[in-house]
Amino acid sequence: MYLREIFTQSVILFIFPLSLFAQHEETLPNARGRAHLVYHPESKTMLLMDGYSEHLDSTRNDVWKWDGKKWERIIAYGPYSRSGSAAALNTKTNEIVVFGGWGKGGPPTDSRNDTWNFDGLHWNKVETNFIDKHDHHKMVYADHINSFVIYGGFNSTSKTFDSSTWLLRDNVFTPLVIPGPGARGNHGLAYDPVRKKVVLFGAKVYNQPAELWEFDGQKWEQVSVGDIGMTTGHEMVYSQVHEMVIVNGHTGTFGWNGKTMIKIADPGPTGSHTALGYDPKRKVVVAYGGFGNNRSISAALWELKGDKWVKVSENKAGKY
């Protein structure tokens, strides 16, 4: 089945409409790193949000949707645009939940601890119990425990990296008092819905190899994997077509099947903190933006076709 998907995607590649590159600048999303790219089942599109290179000084936080052919902006009011937040789709309600991050003023003065959901058209604030402000954390929805799992990141109140495992269920944050991977920031986190495991990959400090940990809903377990040259700035998502958790970073694109880390593709979307998502309708891994050299920020959209990354749209680059 996987070979058939590669052949189909390769055919699509050659007939892909080149007009995307001719879209006007204002009809394409701007350059950004640390953004979120999440599939929205009701609209059957990939939604791009947060991670702006320039924060808007307003209550607008527009969302862009990608249907595989064109970009369209969704004008949305609610939270300030932000970076350093965490986002994930609730597969039970089809709402995307965003927690934390920082606004225009940057961390720690403008760090946030608010929670919002996006239903495909509107932002709605979620009233939760109070927990400290977080940034650089990651969040996934684990359907077998009906909860969001939040891990790592910087706690701007205690001024330390958080090593607690948090669950968000029915708008209540609950810390689990269990051993875990320890302090992490700029790590990757993904949920494997087949194996029912939350997968974390990242280094404790930048000059050490990344570690791989798995959480089954009750306990964390470290799994030994080889060094693939990544420590930080990578992103992760589960791919149904590959039947693996995808890890994408500056050394390439790898897949974790629960036993082995396999290289899938050479680097395509260059830089760090490139948003990564999976489109189950079109059966393709999608990437957007990221931070590059000389303080540059990308505004390119990439799709993984077989073992190659293909650029399918691009706006002008930015600076940070």
The 10s digit of each residue's pLDDT in 60-75 is 899 999 999 999 999 9
What are the structure tokens assigned to 25, written together?
Answer: 């600048």
Give percent above pLDDT 90 in the chain: 75
CB 305 within 8 A of CB 81: no
Q: Over 50: is that where the pLDDT of 6 sits?
A: no
Contacts 24+ apart (CB under 8 A), 117-121: 117/90, 118/47, 118/49, 118/63, 118/76, 119/94, 119/95, 120/40, 120/42, 120/43, 120/47, 120/74, 120/94, 121/74, 121/76
- Amino acid 23: pLDDT: 53
Confidence of residue 2 (pLDDT cuts 50, 70, 90): very low
What is the reported pLDDT for 208? 78
Q: Is the dihedral of CA 120, 122, 128, 133 positive or negative?
A: positive
Determine contact, residues 268/304, Cβ cutoff 8 Å. Answer: yes
Mean pLDDT of 206-219: 90
For the beta carbon of residue 201, count every other beta carbon within 10 angstroms.
Answer: 27
pLDDT at residue 5 is higher than 70: no
**Cα–Cα separations (whole angstroms), residue 76 to 49, 70, 266, 283, 312:** 11, 19, 36, 28, 25
- Indicate the DSSP class of residue 45: E
Q: Is the pLDDT of residue 1 over 60?
A: no
Residue 30 has pLDDT above 90, yes or no: yes
Cβ atoms of 112 and 126 within 8 Å: the answer is no
> At 20, is the pLDDT very low, low, confident or very high (cuts 50, 70, 90)?
low
Check residue 53 and report its DSSP letter: S
pLDDT at 191 over 90: yes
pLDDT of 10 above 80? no
User: Domain tally for the chain?
Assistant: 1
Q: Which two tokens stand for residue 196?
A: 């029912």
- The string of DSSP letters for 215-250 reads E-SS-EEEE-----S--SS-EEEEETTTTEEEEEET
Range of the domain at 199: 2-319
Phi, psi of 183 (to 5 degrees): -60, 135
DSSP classification of residue 251: T
Max Cα separation, the chain? 53
If you average pLDDT over every residue of the chain, what do you get? Answer: 90
**pLDDT above 90 for 161:** no
Mean predicted confidence (pLDDT) in 40-58:
89
**Amino acid 312: pLDDT:** 96
Residue 75 belongs to a domain with what CATH number? Answer: 2.120.10.80
Express each pLDDT in 236-275 by its tens digit: 999 999 999 999 999 999 999 999 999 999 988 878 999 9
* Sequence-distant (≥ 6) Cβ neighbours of residue 26 within 8 angstroms: none
- DSSP line for 147-206: EEEEE--EETTTTEE---EEEEETTEEEEE-S--S-S-SS-EEEEETTTTEEEEEE-SST
* 184, pLDDT greater than 50: yes
d(CA 281, CA 262): 24
pLDDT in tens, 269-312: 878 999 999 999 999 999 999 999 888 999 999 999 999 999 99
What is the pLDDT at residue 12? 35
